[in-house]
Amino acid sequence: MDTAAAITEFLTTRRAKLTPAHVGLPDFGGRRRVPGLRREEVALMAGMSAEYYKRLERGNATGVSEAVIDGVSRALQLDEAEHAHLNDLIRSANAGARPPQRRNVSRKSQVTEGLQQTIDAMSTVPVYVQNGRLDAVATNRLGRALFSEMLDGAQQPANAARFMFLESRAQTFYREWEAQTRQIVAVLRAEAGRSPYDRQLSDLVGELSTRSDLFRKLWGAHDVREHHTGLKSVHHPVVGDLDLTFQAMDLASDRGLQMIVFSAEPGSITHERMQLLANWAETRTPLPH
């Protein structure tokens, strides 16, 4: 990834989303050549010279301090995920070479026997483990049953983004497919900032950009998001509609992996259907992890 270009595009797209009214600045009228705030207005709000901010937006991040990042984040009203993304981009730009402590974080493609044993023991809820590229790394039996549409017969490693944009089944499986497309691209964009030297991630982005006009459009928006908790609404081909709450946890013992646990509200229709799904999962031929 061209980190300097990524800084430019990220800051430009964030600046374009704001107007003087959004940040409490007077608007003196006149024609604006670009949408959103001017660079000089961002610099004013961030407490720095206009020339310094212009250099930063051109991708020159040499020596940028945390205080500067915080000032720009406040001026552009960045949320927590966007602030972390900007920090990642600037850190990568200053590193100049592959940071050894992060080089292989998102490349992990398997779990330890101990972790697999743990998720298998969580037999009453679906569990799904993914890496930063959104490859499916491990599941328990119920997790494999829940995501059978994505996992069965998929190109290995099965990948959530590839399924979302390249498989027509995804539009039936995800009941809020359009919202899910935006979320999944935003998660991948955040990972690209954390792992700019992940060749497999770059290849995945290149493949999806070539094969999906929608992915290419969303990727160009430079939106970022973290994936920690929320509601997943899916249509399973065997048991029907499911509304599941998920909690995503980064694994301290397996850096770069995230474990996602799904649950249904007790007594709900989804809870009853999850019991049916568990029964169906027991009848399926077990596949190797």
Q: Break the chain into its structural domains and give their ranges.
A: 3-95, 106-283
Structure tokens at 103: 């080089």
* Per-residue model confidence as pLDDT tens digits over 53-77: 999 999 999 989 999 999 999 999 9
Judge whether residue 31 has pLDDT over 80: no
Q: What pLDDT sits at residue 72? A: 97
Q: What pLDDT sits at residue 111? A: 87
Q: What pLDDT sits at residue 128? A: 97
Mean pLDDT of 34-39: 85
Q: Report the 10 Å Cβ neighbour count for 253.
A: 9
Among 101-110, 206-215, 224-233, name the one with the lowest average pLDDT: 101-110
Q: What pLDDT sits at residue 225? A: 92
Judge whether residue 137 has pLDDT over 90: yes
Q: What is the pTM of this model?
A: 0.88
* Per-residue model confidence as pLDDT tens digits over 143-193: 999 999 999 988 889 999 999 999 999 999 999 999 999 999 999 999 999
Note the Cα 177 to chain centre separation in Å: 15
Q: Identify the CATH number of the domain defined by range 106-283.
A: 3.30.450.180
Does domain 3-95 fall under CATH 1.10.260.40? My reply is yes
Instruction: Indicate if 106-283 has the same CATH topology as 3-95.
Output: no
Judge whether residue 257 has pLDDT over 50: yes
